[in-house]
Amino acid sequence: MFSWIFFAWLLQNHKVSSDTVHVTKNFSACYYLISEEFHHEEDVMIGAFFPLHTLYTEKKKPHSTKPYVYLDYYIQYNFKNYQYILALLFAIEEINRNPNILPNISLGFDFYNNEYTERNILRFTCRWLTAHVKRAMIPNYTCKRRNVIAALTGSSWITSAQIGTLLQLFKFPQITFGPYEPTLSDDGQYSSLYQMAPKDTSLSLAIVSFMVHFSWSWIGLIIPDNHKGNKILSEFREEMERNKICIAFLKMIPATWTSYFTRFWENMDETNVIIIYGDIDSLEILMQIIGQRLLTWNIWIMNNEPHIIELSDYFMLDSFHGSFIFRHNYRDNIEFTKFIQRVNPYKYPEDIYLPKLWNFFFKCSFSDINCHVLDNCKTNASLDLLPSFIFDVVMSEESTNIYNGVYALAHSLHQMRLQLLQMQAFENGEEMVFFPWQLNTFLKDIEVKDKRNLDWKQTIDTEYDILNLWNLPKGLGLKVKIGSFSANAPQGQQLSLSEQIIQWPEIFSEVPQSVCSESCRPGFRKVSLDDKAICCYKCTPCADNEISNETDVDQCVKCPESHYANTEKSNCFPKSVSFLAYEDPLGMALASIALCLSALTVFVIGIFVKNRDTPIVKANNRTLSYILLITLTFCFLCSLNFIGQPNTAACILQQTTFAVAFTMALATVLAKAITVVLAFKISFPGRMLRWLMISRGPRYIIPICTLIQLLLCGIWMATSPPFIDQDVNTEDGYIILLCNKGSAVAFHSVLGYLCFLALGSYTMAFLSRNLPDTFNESKFLSFSMLVFFCVWVTFLPVYHSTKGKVMVAMEVFSILASSTALLAFIFGPKCYIILLRPEKNSFNHIRKKTQSRRKKSPKM
């Protein structure tokens, strides 16, 4: 909190709102004396080539009194990079205090500023190798003997490659602290170059896992237009395709922005989440433009934090509030933070940058003696008072690499000295002679202070810290660790996040979404759109009896046959078992009708038994009438087998009792019809016909026909008997239990046989319909057979067009209808005469009717 309050005060009290120091009359002449180097002299020297400031010259017009100063130029400092020098100094002081490493030898360093121009970089490198000869830099020659052991280069891999091209000629050890670069790992071209930074082999996996966690599938990607950008693009595409994440747009960071500037920012609002990959140097201009354009509606996912170059652009952090930074995991060095708090210009007078920092930020004035002494300084002035986006006291990743690189050099030099002591004998006062290229053998594999084994050529990353950038209140610029990623962790446990402390950009009140199409809710599935990415789709409802209980599913899942889909098609529920039960209204109605008709048939039997000696009962073959009525009773009762929960026995009884009962009924009707024909149609019967009439042969038709039907049923039951079946499709939410007929051929054969008997009975009755007799029932027999035949012929198509309980009810209805037709048309008229017209049921009435018919006969 104090940092950003202090920073606000700083801006109010400085007319210049920038760390870009313009050379004007208002500033001390000390700012004209910009040196590109300084030295911390000790026994063994390390060359440090760091980018700390850049001198921009617009007009090369010399100053009137100071020809080395140009009037129109300005210097751009990057105060964040000053931590590199402090990390180097901190590591060197630790090693020099440690008696177990390089006893009696102290380390120092030569600092040279990198201006990102190849000419100056090579010039400073040659000056360092030739021992500060400014005017004459002669290769392979030093004007004085100096123990220089290695060069520390960075943070750009380009500058490291330029320096490495020169140092490789002498096999001079070079350690780079910038991001890992595959080009620099070429042993043939850079055999003495060692990279401290780990590879980014798991970065794409870490970032994609992070996006999967928040269900972000529509992502923008900004990468540098070089070989490294192409490589990371391939890795991102592979991981994204595996996790069904699409690239909304791809922007390549150009080397120059002149012609590409306007087109670069097109379609930037297509997605909420944008990945920015690159090193600090390649992203410098991009980060400044993003901050200046105030793109506050985007979530930026970066592998490097945004650097503030100018203090006037401190508000650019608004564009990055709520963004995320992925950096390699390393331990925070508390001692380094304490070391920074103690740093001041008086402690390190050779440092050319500390006096300028104190003058600019703490209002100290330069002394008249020289530009390295300050007056009127506050005693409590310290670098840890500066805001973190200006100068961070927490050791950065690059500073950690510098720290480890210095320790690697110290350990290598220590091991080499021990080996030389064993091989050479030195007299008192004689210095040990060694050459820098000898360190290469020991730098191949060395153990540094934090006990990490460094395989210089195969260093890989396994863990990342995930930082959330907070900029509320304005200018805070705080990086808060909100999670981590470990590639070595078990699947599903690689990503660890503390979501409750994440701050999102101000326009989002909740976890933002980044999708091309809205998610398909449960009950719907995705349908890809032509010529669109797989992340762009439309939602369509699941088909019948299919569900999707998750969002954004590609295919709906069909419910098992024992389950049904709910209305929303989001869950499968178990189906209830259903059958034509007695409790159902339909089952109850059919059962009631069957019982009533059975009772009615029994009542008719009683009437016939009671009036068995009356003419109407005797005239129509009393025995066959009794058999037919009893058979009809069983026909009505057999329909009850179709109602209730089916079982194997019930399924078999349904068809056998139905077939046998109706066969006996139809056979009885056929016997009655044949009896009438034999009695009245044949005027002069022969012996055979006479024997049939006397022996009552038509009665044998009943057992013969029944035996034929029993044979058919036996074959049916032996080959493919009925069994319990389930109908899961007819009614939603129900499994209908019913009896499967088994063999369809056998079932239709039984029905066909019944229809054949009905047709035969109808034919015989039709032939005797006009025979003269008082109680001739042939007309009623023919009409009942006609109705019976129509019922079962109609039954077949209707039966096959219905399903479930309706199909069972249809069969029961056909049984009751056909049985009722036989009962009503054969016995209805007789019961009418017996009960309502008893005067017609007498022998006197028969005689009168016969005499009347005889009197009319001659006239006819």
Tell whether 713 and 618 lie within a shared domain. yes
- Which three-class secondary structure state does DSSP give residue 495? strand
Tell whether 594 and 570 lie within a shared domain. no
In a domain, 508, yes or no: no
> What element of type H or E holds 791?
helix 778-801
Q: Where are the alpha helices (DSSP H) in 14-152?
A: 82-97, 118-129
DSSP 285-299: HHHHHHHHHT-TT-E
- Which three-class secondary structure state does DSSP give residue 449? coil
Tell me the backbone φ, ψ of residue 470, rounded to 5 degrees: -105, 130
Tell whether 559 and 606 lie within a shared domain. no
Give dist(CA 61, CA 727) in Å, integer.
99
Q: How far apart are the first and last CA of the chain?
A: 134
- DSSP secondary structure code for residue 460 in this structure: B
Residue 595 one-letter amino acid = L
Give dist(CA 743, CA 117) in Å, integer.
94
Domain span at 608:
590-725+740-848
- DSSP secondary structure code for residue 824 in this structure: I
**What is the structure's pLDDT at 529?**
85
Tell whether 529 and 402 lie within a shared domain. no
**What is the structure's pLDDT at 363?**
79
In a domain, 264, yes or no: no
**Length in residues, the chain:** 860
**What is the structure's pLDDT at 213?**
93
In a domain, 403, yes or no: yes
> What element of type H or E holds 576?
strand 576-578
In total, how many domains does the chain have? Answer: 3
Residue 512 one-letter amino acid = P
* CA proximity to 1, closest of 385, 527, 339, 479: 385
In a domain, 855, yes or no: no
How many Cα atoms sit within 13 Å of 301 on the Cβ side? Answer: 19
In a domain, 612, yes or no: yes
Tell whether 600 and 549 lie within a shared domain. no
Give dist(CA 187, CA 585) in Å, integer.
91
- Which three-class secondary structure state does DSSP give residue 608? helix
**What is the structure's pLDDT at 273?**
92
Contact by Cβ (8 Å): 155, 279: yes
Tell whether 567 and 606 lie within a shared domain. no
Angle in degrees, CA 844, 845, 849, rounded to 5? 115
Domain CATH number, residue 148:
3.40.50.2300
Taking residue 117's Cβ as centre, other Cβ atoms within 10 Å add up to 12
Give dist(CA 131, CA 144) in Å, integer.
6
* CA proximity to 270, closest of 243, 298, 294, 293: 298
455: its two tokens? 């395989």
In a domain, 799, yes or no: yes
* CA proximity to 511, closest of 269, 214, 301, 295: 214
Tell whether 716 and 812 lie within a shared domain. yes
**What is the structure's pLDDT at 316?**
60
214: its two tokens? 């928040």
Contact by Cβ (8 Å): 575, 728: yes
Tell whether 626 and 562 lie within a shared domain. no
In a domain, 7, yes or no: yes
* CA proximity to 529, closest of 516, 542, 541: 516
Tell whether 772 and 655 lie within a shared domain. yes
Tell whether 409 and 548 lie within a shared domain. no
Tell whether 382 and 440 lie within a shared domain. yes
Which residues face 365 on adjacent strands? 375
709: its two tokens? 């039907």
Helices (H) and strands (E) in the chain, counts: 23, 30
Local mean pLDDT, 10-residue blocks, the chain (860 residues): 43 38 45 75 90 64 42 65 93 93 90 78 81 58 71 86 88 90 85 86 91 92 87 91 90 74 77 87 76 75 70 62 87 89 88 84 76 76 82 87 92 88 61 80 70 48 85 76 90 90 87 88 89 87 90 88 86 86 88 92 90 77 85 90 86 87 86 72 49 57 88 89 83 82 87 84 73 60 79 80 82 88 85 81 58 48
How many Cα atoms sit within 13 Å of 859 on the Cβ side? Answer: 5
In a domain, 490, yes or no: no
Which residues face 453 on adjacent strands? 447
Residue 473: asked if its preceding bond is cis (omega within 30°), the reply is: yes
Domain CATH number, residue 715:
1.20.1070.10
Pairing of strands 246-253, 218-224: parallel
- In angstroms and rounded to an integer, the radius of gyration of the C-alpha atoms of the chain is 53
Taking residue 554's Cβ as centre, other Cβ atoms within 10 Å add up to 13
DSSP 233-286: HHHHHHHHHHTT-EEEEEEEEPS--TTTHHHHTTTGGG-SEEEE---HHHHHHH
Tell whether 90 and 36 lie within a shared domain. yes
- Which three-class secondary structure state does DSSP give residue 444? coil
